[in-house]
Amino acid sequence: MAGMTVIVRTISRLLFPFIFLFGVYVVFHGHLTPGGGFPGGVIIAASVVTLILAYGIERAQERVSFLSSEVLDVIGSAAIAIIGLLGILLGTFFLQNVFPLGGLGQLFSGGNFLPLYLGVGVKVAGGILLIFYAMLFALWSEKE
């Protein structure tokens, strides 16, 4: 799949860090403001997809390949399961709060909300990238 014109490539290269940062902000502040893992992960994936569409799939494969998005996916889901099991290992129930509860409105507060949302954000970003690559490969191999 070929890329797009010079204007699109330049603008998307300039915009990519801001969209990525916004997505990371939404994931990290999930316990304070609306948002959280799911919308933040989708925004992160959308920023990477913008780059893939602008530069074409061959060049994108060198940076963010199919394999690395699979690995991101597995890391995210394993993180969620391990945080759940931490509750069991430390003697209380599954998914029980074992992290410190900070003060009102601080970043590192809310117990195990923040680690869970990080895991969800990574998994959703990896998952949406994986869906995008799978659909592209289905169409790509048809043209050959």
Partner 1 sequence: MIPHAPILAIVLPLFAAFLMPLVGLLSKRYNAAKACDWFAIAAMIGTILLVADMAPTVWGGHILTYKLGGWSPPWGINLAIDGLSIQMALMIAGLGTLVIIYSAGYMQRDTRKDLFYALTLLAITGMMGIVLTGDIFNFYVFLEIMSVSSYALIAFRRDSNAIEAGIKYLFIGSLGTSLILMSVAMLYSFVGSLNIADLGAKLATYREGAQPVPAILIASLALFVTGVMIKVAMVPFHAWLADAFTAAPTTISALLAGPGAVVGIYWVARLPYLPFGLPVGIILISLGLLSMVVGVLMALTQHDFKRMLAYHVISQKGYMVLGIGLGTLGSVLGAQGGLFHLLNHSTYKCMLFMCAGAVLFRTGSQKFDELGGLGKNMPVTALTFLIGALAISGIPPLNGFVSKYIIYLGGVEAGLPIVTAIAVLVSALTFASFFKAFSSVFLGQRSERLRETQEAPKLMLFPMLMMAVICVAIGLLPALGFNIVGPAQSAAENSARYISQVIGGI
Partner 2 sequence: MNFNYTIAMLLIALGFYCLLVKRNLIKLIIGLSVMTDGIHLFLISMGYRTGGIAPIVTSELSSNLSNFASRAVDPLPQALVLTSIVINICILALALSLSIYAYRHYGTLDPYKLRRLRE
How many residues appear in the chain? Answer: 144
- Contact window for partner 1 (CB under 8 A) among 23-31, 40-48, 57-65, 85-93: 85-93
Angstrom CA distances, 135 to 18, 97, 122, stand at 26, 39, 20
- Is there binding between residue 86 and partner 1 (CB under 8 A)? no
3 vs 119, beta carbon nearer partner 1: 119
Least distance in Å: CB of 6 to partner 2?
A: 30
- Alpha-carbon distance of 127 to 70, in angstroms, equals 8
- Contact window for partner 1 (CB under 8 A) among 13-21, 44-52, 53-61, 89-97: 89-97
Task: Look up residue 43 and give its two tokens.
Answer: 């925004």
Angstrom CA distances, 24 to 44, 54, 61, 120, stand at 7, 22, 23, 12
Residues that bind partner 2 (CB under 8 A): 32-34, 36, 38, 104-105, 131, 134-135, 138-139, 142
Which of residues 70, 86, 132, 136 is near partner 1 by CB under 8 A? 70
Least distance in Å: CB of 92 to partner 2?
A: 23
Query: What are φ and ψ of residue 56, in 5° steps?
Result: 90, 155
Closest by alpha carbon to 2, among 45, 57, 44, 40?
A: 57
- In the complex, the residues that contact partner 1 under the rule CB under 8 A are 67, 70-71, 73-74, 77-78, 81, 84-85, 87-88, 92-97
